[in-house]
Structure 1
Amino acid sequence: MITVERTDFVSVPVTDMARSKQFYGETLGLPLVSGDDAWPEYQLGENVSLYLIDPTNVGQPFTAPHSSSIALRVPDVAEARAALEAQGVEFGGDIFDTGVCHMAFFSDPDGNALMLHRRYAPRED
């Protein structure tokens, strides 16, 4: 048995590093926390970061984008969505209300699935 302390980062495969750095750093406004032009890592909130990787840099092909959304917690889904739409980001469908949270689905330039997310209902323990 191992002890997992936390998730340090989530890797996202990309095909055009410059385009992806512009999207994550400028369009989404995520702070760059480490790495250089070839290995950038952006902070996602308090305890996890998003690591952009060009699979060809490690001898692997880009086979497909992630299809399970990375949920980006925001204070207000509608407001964040409007800000991203103003920058040309396209969303798939309307804001989805699950009865517990709001979600809005979109993709990065390589087709990796992302979601704006905000839970509004209290958690039941």
Structure 2
Amino acid sequence: MSLITKLDFVGIPSQDADRARRFYGETLGLQPDPNGEYEFWVGETCLGIWEPEKQGRPFAPQKNAHLALHVEDVAAARADLEAKGVQFAGDTFDTGVCHMALFTDPDGNDLMLHHRYKPAS
């Protein structure tokens, strides 16, 4: 039996927390936490923006561990974000199970729009 019961939050490193807050709140439209100025909710998972350099740690964007942000329609969500200036890394791709479109936040953290269209086997 695991002692771990859930994922409490995912830390999002930033060099400018106010800029990141605008991106996650205004551009992506995520729900802000009413009790945390730099926290947003995606379903039951909290994204917490933090500035490593303010704690004496080096800043490094999260790479190759894309947060898969669920959307019902990847093409529509991508078009909406592109209209807001978000640039995507290549074309949307189809894995045969899901659609994915890769992009980054203003700090270079890897993100993904994701929609699984086939049920898990």
TM bucket by the smaller chain?
A: over 0.9
Following superposition, the deviation at residue 58 of structure 1 comes to 2.1
Q: Between Structure 1 and Structure 2, how many residues are aligned?
A: 119
1:1-125 matches, within 5 Å, as 2-33=2-33, 34-36=35-37, 40-45=38-43, 47-62=44-59, 64-67=60-63, 68-124=65-121
Deviations 1:57-91 (A, max 9, x none): 322121x2101211000111001000000000000
> Helix, strand or coil for the counterpart of 2:20?
helix
Q: For 2:85 and 2:58, locate their aligned partners in 1 and report how far apart those are by CA, in whole Å.
A: 28
Runs (5+) with no aligned partner, structure 1: none
- CA drift at 1:4: 1.1
Query: Taking structure 2 as the reference length, what is the TM-score of the superposition?
Result: 0.93
CA distance in 1, matches of 2:41, 2:76: 21
Q: TM-score, length-normalised on structure 1?
A: 0.91
